[in-house]
Structure 1
Amino acid sequence: MKRILLIIALVFCSAHLSDAQTQNVLRVNFLNPAVSYEMATGKNTTLDTCLGFGYNYSYPDLTSASISGVQYLFAMFVDVQGRYYYNLSKREGNGKRTDRNNGNFIAARMLYTGPGISQISSFDRFDNNSFAVGPTWGLQRTYGNRFNLLFSAGPIYYFDTKGNGNIFPLNLELNLGINLN
Structure 2
Amino acid sequence: MPPPHEGSPGTGEIPSLVELAEHALTLAPHRIAPAVRALLGTVLHDGPLRDVLLHTWAWGPAAGWDLIADLEAHPPRLLRGLRYLCGDAPTPPIPHRLHRSRLLCSHLGNTLPDTRREGAREAGAWLAWAAGDLAETQRLLGHPGAPHANPRFVHTLKNAVNRGEKPRWGCISGNPQ
Give the alignment's TM-score, normalised by structure 1: 0.23
Higher strand share: 1
Give the alignment's TM-score, normalised by structure 2: 0.23
Higher helix share: 2
